[in-house]
Amino acid sequence: MYRVKLTEFEGPLDLLLFFIRRDELDITNIPISRITQEFLEYLHLMASLDLEVAGEFIVMAATLMQIKVRMLLPRDENAPEEEDPRAELIRRLIEYKRFKEMAQEFGSLEEEHRKVYYRRFFEGDTKTLVEEEDDGFLKDISLFNLIAAYKSALDQMPRKVVHEVHLLSVTVDEQMSFVMDFLRVHGPTTLLQLVAHMVEKIRIIVTVIAVLELTKNKAIALAVVDGRDDIAIRPLTSLAPMALASR
């Protein structure tokens, strides 16, 4: 009997290729019973070591046995040019072997390139920033990054979102008037100043909508405040004289 030493195989095809290489078999003319026998012994061994045999190996075992049976069956004289039952498996083995070779090539490319290093520390470089319009914001962000982010967002979603629905009597129209009044009293302001005293989230939201609505109506204009997460608001329509005086 043979003692079999186990190592990792990339899958059933890899194991078959191993048998073929080790025994110097002709891949185009596989001795199917012998290979099937060895394959089953390997599975048996895995089982005896209490290793769960991966599904792919079991499927392959079934395929091998099926081919073996078909090889034993007498050929149907009427069926013209029936394909060798092994043909499909041989095709797969050769195809896999081909990519396995390329994987080795990739491995040596990787090895070669591992010796090459790029500059990675740029803090010492003096840079003078230049204003330009921007593009390339999404460079290097792939669809995978996007879906990974989606999953992460869902995973981190607050377990219970308590929506206390108490009806607040706040409408967009009201807040539009509020914004215009505020501007009239305080002059140009910012969004944060506008909502500073508000406690209910919904009121803030409605106010923001009101601001957007007013922007759309060209009653006010918005601008980004440099360096801050805030938006500057200034009136576009003429306001009551007292507003001008107040600033």
Contacts of 6 (CB under 8 A, 6+ apart): 45, 46, 49
Min dist. Cβ of residue 195 to other proteins (A): 10
Q: Are strands 220-224 and 189-190 parallel, antiparallel or unpaired?
A: unpaired
Residue with Cβ nearer other proteins (16 or 243)? 16
Of the candidates 73, 126, 166, 226, which one interacts with other proteins according to CB under 8 A?
A: 126
Question: Could you tell me which stretch among 77-85, 178-186, 202-210, 239-247 binds other proteins (CB under 8 A)?
Answer: 202-210
Which secondary structure element, helix H or strand E, spans residue 115, and what is its range? none
Exposed e or buried b for every residue in 90-128, given b needs 16+ CB within 10 A?
A: eeebeebbeeeeeeeeeeeeeeeeeeeeeeeeeeeeeee
Examine residue 205 and tell whether it contacts other proteins (CB under 8 A). yes
Min dist. Cβ of residue 30 to other proteins (A): 10
What is the contact mask toward other proteins in residues 81 to 120, using x (rule: CB under 8 A)? -----------x-xxxxxxxxxxxxxx-xxxxxxxxxxxx
Examine residue 42 and tell whether it contacts other proteins (CB under 8 A). yes
Which secondary structure element, helix H or strand E, spans residue 7, and what is its range? none
Examine residue 174 and tell whether it contacts other proteins (CB under 8 A). no
Residue with Cβ nearer other proteins (72 or 212)? 212
Examine residue 125 and tell whether it contacts other proteins (CB under 8 A). yes
Min dist. Cβ of residue 136 to other proteins (A): 6
- Following DSSP, what letter does each residue of 167-191 receive, concatenated? -----HHHHHHHHHHHHHHH-SEEH
User: Which token pair is 206?
Assistant: 């409605």
